[in-house]
């Protein structure tokens, strides 16, 4: 249903091997994630010391059959929910980051990368490099 409302195939956004290569974390296989207006894929990892990592990419879509998806409006609405969004230059048409969430608009899409990692982890660099890869996949027609 979400794909009929404009969401790309979530498994085309980023692959397991890309997440491992970009982060250096040996994540497990993909898990489907979804909400009323986004669809995505998540990769999780744990170590033997009660530490866990999660990397997700979620793309926006229309909320119902009567509404066309507008990536600009979706991006603006999501960013308005943040307390102190930090602009991220040179990433798509617009991008902001706050506390493990990186919202991106570009290539006619709007999506976010969610990095949940132990304190001190390079969450923002990880989110940024993952977002660059997602934008590359969109631009080459590998995601959609």
pLDDT per residue over 15-69, tens digit each?
999 999 999 999 999 999 888 788 899 999 999 888 999 999 998 876 777 877 7
Q: Which comes out higher in pLDDT, residue 65 or 118? A: 118
pTM attached to this predicted model: 0.92
In the predicted model, what is the mean pLDDT of the chain? 91
Dist. CA 60–CA 45, nearest whole Å: 25
What tokens appear for 41 in the block? 């894929």
90-104: buried (b, 16+ CB within 10 Å) or exposed (e) per residue? ebbebbbbeebbbbb
Query: What percent of the chain lies above the pLDDT cut of 90?
Result: 71
């Amino acid at each position: 249903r979400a794909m009929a409302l404009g969401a790309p195939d979530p498994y085309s956004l980023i692959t397991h091997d890309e997440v491992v290569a970009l982060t250096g974390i040996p994540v497990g296989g993909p898990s489907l994630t979804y909400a009323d207006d986004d669809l995505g894929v998540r990769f999780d990892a744990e170590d033997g010391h009660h530490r866990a990592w999660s990397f997700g990419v979620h793309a926006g879509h229309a909320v119902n059959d009567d509404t066309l998806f507008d990536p600009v409006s979706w991006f603006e609405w999501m960013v308005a929910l943040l307390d102190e969004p930090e602009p991220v230059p040179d990433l798509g048409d617009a991008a902001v980051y706050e506390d493990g969430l990186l919202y991106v608009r570009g290539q006619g899409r709007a999506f976010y990368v969610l990095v949940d990692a132990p304190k001190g982890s390079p969450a923002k660099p990880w989110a940024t490099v993952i977002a660059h890869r997602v934008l590359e996949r969109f631009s080459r027609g590998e995601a959609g």
